[in-house]
Amino acid sequence: MSDPSPAAIARRLMRATDRATLATARDGWPYASLVLVAVDHDASPLLLLSDLAEHTRNLKRTPRVSLLFDGTAGREDPLTGPRVTVLGEVAPVDDARLLARFTRRHPSAEAYAAFADFHLYRLGVARAHLVAGFGKIDWVEAQALLVAPAPALQEREADIVQHMNKDHAETLDRYAQRLLGLAGEGWRMTGVDPEGGDLRRGGSIARLDFRAAVGDAEGARAELVRLARLARGTG
């Protein structure tokens, strides 16, 4: 199997991370802040921000921002780990599907998502800068970073997630424990996209990768069944 491309490495890191550092412009100065983040099926970042926050006031004046996704946690030398900075312009988006995707990713956000001062924003990606370790540095253009939307899967995502959490809780735990090497029971699925699924247990998250990209619910089901067999040792 060939090594993943810089775009694939960057995209997986974005999908596997639930927080990022948002850099906005304030009076000519860069202003960095911690934000919760989700990504859409095509890997475009999503942010749920309050109008009262400094970063929101900044981006309303200057919508050009960058988001740093940090994948270096747990390494003895953080500089050997991957991180990607995504550049682009943010814009508010009124989309119930995207808001539901964000709040499934971040259940705590359900408590304030309906507040009048909170709005969902989508980052229109221009390009990204990936550092995958010493000497592994690449610029990745938007057309390489983003994947084609899969409307048929988007329409069924909520149904798939509900079904997995209601009827296949043990399978989700097997995914986490046997495929990803994670401890504990009570893992839940929060999302599924063309490249895999997202799991959460309390404050811990995990990424379940598909072998190949899928475009609809039937393709996602086939991959989830394959992974279930693999987790049981029968695949």
Q: How far apart are CA 11 and CA 128, in angstroms?
A: 10
pLDDT tens per residue, range 158-216 = 999 999 999 999 999 999 999 999 999 999 999 999 999 999 999 999 999 999 999 99
In this structure, the answer to whether residues 114 and 225 fall within a common structural domain is no
pLDDT tens per residue, range 4-44 = 999 999 999 999 999 999 999 999 999 999 999 999 999 99
Q: What is the CATH number of the domain that holds 170?
A: 3.20.180.10
What is the pLDDT averaged over residues 69-91?
Answer: 93
| pLDDT confidence of residue 235 | 63
Torsion angles phi and psi, residue 99, rounded to 5: -65, -40
Domain of 109?
6-145
Looking at 110, 145, 180, the residue that finishes a domain is: 145
In this structure, the answer to whether residues 226 and 137 fall within a common structural domain is no
Looking at 145, 171, 200, the residue that finishes a domain is: 145
In this structure, the answer to whether residues 130 and 37 fall within a common structural domain is yes
- pTM above threshold 0.75: yes
Tell me the two tokens of residue 118.
């909170």
Q: Is residue 59 part of a domain?
A: yes
The residue among 175, 203, 172, 204 whose CA lies nearest residue 188 is 172
Torsion angles phi and psi, residue 30, rounded to 5: -70, 135
In this structure, the answer to whether residues 16 and 74 fall within a common structural domain is yes
Q: How far apart are CA 7 and CA 3, in angstroms?
A: 11
Q: What is the CATH number of the domain that holds 30?
A: 2.30.110.10
Q: Is residue 1 part of a domain?
A: no
pLDDT tens per residue, range 110-136 = 999 999 999 999 999 999 999 998 778
Number of domains in the chain: 2
In this structure, the answer to whether residues 125 and 51 fall within a common structural domain is yes
